[in-house]
Amino acid sequence: MKWDERIEAEGGKMAEISVGEDLRSLSADVISRACFGSSYFKGKNIFSKLRTLQKVISNTSILFGSPALGFLPSRQQKEIEILEKEIESLIWEAVKERERDQCLETHSNEKDLLHSILEGAINDGNVGENSSRKFIVDNCKNIYFAGHESTAVAASWCLMLLALHPEWQSRIREEMAQICPDGVLDAESVSKMKMVTHISH
């Protein structure tokens, strides 16, 4: 819909679209929703800052948490330290909000990833009270860094293949119309879409 609006804004014929950037934003939205559930907008803010941190680290050619931080120009080192503190504070604020809402009592099929991380911190005997905050914050960071780029790259690759093979698009649209006549796609529907999950030729 966003791309359609851009095309319409350009007169309905053609528009320049940054597919890669849009898909990165989409993957961050999906991860935010999956990880933070009802705290989705707070999750978007967290992941926006993580994305900024990722760019700063990439520009300096270092790894996250590298001892090389001590050798960075003071301005870059300060920027990374500020971002890390802001991210930790936002994640912990979401955790405390979840605890206040007593979300650990939520039925299992309504749990999001943050709920599971909280349960892990509580039930893991190796995670002491002093290290539970780090355990929770680091897991939230890992989910973002592990899933963000890989999801966007996979989606970009799928779109490119569909563009190269329009006959696949037609077959997938037909199946989509049969399985989801109302246009609503959920996990159960995806499992039924054999054209999407089992194409091998």
Same domain, 45 and 59: yes
pLDDT(107) > 50: no
pLDDT value at 70 more than 60: no
Q: Indicate the residue type of 170.
A: S
| Contact assessment for residue 189 and residue 180, using Cβ atoms and an 8 Å cutoff | yes
**Distance from C-alpha of 59 to C-alpha of 40, rounded to nearest angstrom:** 28
The boundaries of the domain holding residue 24 are 2-164
Q: For residues 177 and 141, state if they share a domain.
A: no
CA-to-CA separations, 17 to 106, 149, 163, 183, in angstroms, rounded = 41, 19, 15, 24
- Residue 201 and residue 103 share a domain: no
**Does 108 have pLDDT greater than 50?**
no
Q: Which of 115, 120, 79, 123 is nearest to 98 (CA)?
A: 115
Q: Please check the confidence at residue 65 and state whether its pLDDT lies above 70.
A: no
Residue 20 and residue 152 in contact, taking contact as beta carbons nearer than 8 Å = yes
pLDDT beyond 50 at 55 = yes
Which residues, in sequence order, are CB contacts of 47 under 8 Å at separation 6+?
28, 31, 32, 144, 148
Domain check: are 103 and 198 in the same one?
no
Q: pTM of this prediction?
A: 0.61
> Which residue type does 5 have?
E
Q: Are residues 102 and 199 in the same domain?
A: no
Q: Are residues 56 and 84 in the same domain?
A: yes
